[in-house]
Chains A and B, each alone.
Chain A
Amino acid sequence: MTTAPQQYKKLLPAISGETRPFWEACKRGELLIQRCAKCGKYQFYPRGFCSHCWAAEPPQWVKASGKGKVYTFTITYQNRSPGYAEEVPYVLALVELEEGVRMFTNIVDCKPQDVHIGMPVEVVFRKATEEVTIPYFRPAKP
């Protein structure tokens, strides 16, 4: 029996040991970031060590509130990569989480023209494949 062709055309994240907890949490609807027990600083993107102090102990995974603000963004009108070319215009953004670290994302569930810097946003998860769920952000509900 053959499986159905993959519907998801965009890039899928490559998952490794040091990032697997993040992607597993996404499947549960949780956004995880890392905090170092030694220096106390948060970091994003996740790594298998603390990039701030290079502590011997790996950083701890902590659940982020999932709320933040648009730090900056762009409405992309041209991207020649398959999957993205069909989706333009879309909003590529850096969101500053309440915890302070910034992450790349897309702002979804609103018109691109309505996005502005400082806009409160909240995380939303979308299943890409059976194995992968990806976090996005949408305008925060008041």
Chain B
Amino acid sequence: MDLRRAAAIVGVYEHPTRYAPDKSEQLIIAESIIGALNDAGLEKKDVDALFVAAMPPGITGYGLCDYLNLYPRWVDSTNVGGGSFEFHLSHALTAIAAGRIQCAVIAYGSTARSGGVAVGTGGATRWGQARIAPVPDSFEDIYGTTTVGLYAMVAQRHMHEYGTKPEQLAEIAVTMRYHASMNPHAMYRDPITVEDVLTSRMISSPLHLLDCCVISDGGGAVVVASPSLARSAKKKPVWVLGVGESIAHQGGGWRDLMEMAAYQSAPQAFRMAGVTHQDVDMCMIYDSFTITVLMTFENLGFCKRGEGGAFVSGGRLRIDGEMPTNPDGGGLSSNHPGMRGIFLLIEATKQLRGDYAGTPRQVHARRNRSEPPSIALCHGTGGALGSRHSGGTVILGRD
């Protein structure tokens, strides 16, 4: 079955909050879904599928259906960490192509910041009471793993094998902050320099504070529709061209740490979409840490293994560069409510639709600088590179 253009994103909504101490996660999810349906010109009655992932164990498909007072015919609570929403889009595409559903809502909400969740440095107790399992936690968490630490070990190895420099990682953070300066909702908007990154506090060597994403509250939603429904929606459809999913793990103790899940998910997505890397006008790359971005570009195949440092240098990732990346400011500066994958889909959709036309935040097509981008690639990562993680690649395109 040719899944290209079998479904389209017809509505998106990014919750503007970065701090919402008086809202529940569920309310942020509900407000996001309502916002995305408004964007699409669709209503509650049109929704026949719900896809949700969240950090607290209580928020799953059935609990949220109760809260939303919704009776969908398809529910998917796939949770593979922060990149879950790229998996959701992949699953929604398949369900729509099979004719089981017409309209899916993918949603996320979190109060990680107002709840004081130490996402990156809380160690095993970051979600409250530590629950240690015989395997694998008993062979990892007892040594004081943190999310930052697990990524930092991979960064250290990358530097050792390829000579990747802290300055190259820092440039990613600087670029994201530059983009955030154009986003009125971004959590941090004041420009930073490479020097600022390198002199910021070391959290887990070689990653400094400014190599790490922010912790915010927030949420968002995406409406995915069948082609016939998409044609009747209010906004121009953004077509799902290709999707790919993968998991990378320790392989019984033998895994090459430099190989990400993206190495397997990207070829799936490119093959399905029938496009090449040269066709991609912009990227939304999950930026939990600067090293995540650098290695994702390598594993997606935009450059060779070990060349990521050079790839992200020289302003290539800036809005006005060769591969505009995370024009919203990313998790490093705009928002990161624990899981961030939904925002990759939201920003890519807005950019493809030309929602920011006439402002410096609008990305342009590679072939025609007076037009919005034609093709965007989103790659969500969930979990931790140093232990096990998920990778979901999505390629989107406009008419």
Question: Which residues on A are within 8 Å of B, measured CB to CB?
Answer: 10-16, 18-19, 41-47, 51-52, 71-82, 84, 87, 90, 92-94, 100-106, 117, 134
Contacts and interface: CB of A to CB of B under 8 A. Distances in A.
A119 B59 CA distance: 45
Given A15-B138, A73-B156, 7 more contacts: A12-B142, A43-B252, A43-B253, A44-B253, A90-B144, A101-B252, A117-B156
B1 interface: no
B203 A78 contact: yes
A82 B118 CA distance: 13
A19 B134 CA distance: 7
Interface in B142-156: 142-146, 148-149, 152-154, 156
A6 to B, nearest CB: 14
B132 A72 contact: no
A106 B149 CA distance: 12
A77 B160 CA distance: 20
Interface residues of B, number: 44
Contacts of B253: 42-45, 100-103
Given A43-B252, A72-B157, A101-B252, A14 B143 contact: no
A13, A100, A106 interface centre (most CB from chain B within 10 Å): A13
Given A74-B153, A79-B123, A13 B252 contact: no
B156 A72 contact: yes
A104 B145 contact: yes
Interface of B: 118, 121-126, 130, 132-146, 148-149, 152-154, 156-157, 160, 201-207, 250, 252-254, 257, 386
Contacts of A104: 139-140, 143, 145
A92 B156 contact: no
Nearest to A84: B144
B197 to A, nearest CB: 16
Given A72-B257, A84-B123, A10 B135 contact: no
A100, A102, A104 interface centre (most CB from chain B within 10 Å): A104
A74 B201 CA distance: 14
Given A72-B257, A80-B125, A134-B142, A93 B133 contact: no
B203 to A, nearest CB: 5
Contacts of A80: 118, 121-123, 125-126
A71 B397 CA distance: 41
Please provide the 6 A-B residue pairs with the shortest distance between their CB atoms, ordered closest to farther.
Answer: A101-B253, A81-B123, A13-B138, A16-B134, A44-B253, A74-B152
Nearest to B135: A45
A92 B252 contact: no
Nearest to A52: B252
24 contacts: A10-B142, A12-B142, A15-B138, A16-B135, A18-B135, A45-B250, A47-B135, A72-B153, A72-B257, A73-B156, A74-B205, A76-B148, A77-B203, A79-B149, A80-B118, A81-B130, A84-B123, A87-B144, A92-B204, A94-B153, A103-B139, A104-B139, A104-B140, A106-B144
A45 B136 contact: yes
A-side binding surface: helix, strand, loop or mixed? loop
A66 B139 CA distance: 16
Nearest to A93: B153
Contacts of A79: 121-123, 144, 146, 149
Nearest to A59: B252
B154 A77 contact: no
B42 to A, nearest CB: 42
Nearest to B130: A11
Contacts of A101: 252-254
Contacts of A106: 143-144
B130, B138, B154 interface centre (most CB from chain A within 10 Å): B138
Contacts of A71: 157, 257
Contacts of B144: 10, 76, 79, 81, 84, 87, 90, 92, 106
Nearest to B205: A75
A47 B252 CA distance: 9
Contact of B153 (A10, A44, A73, A84): A73
B130, B133, B139 interface centre (most CB from chain A within 10 Å): B139
A122 B311 CA distance: 38
A94 B156 CA distance: 11
Nearest to A96: B253
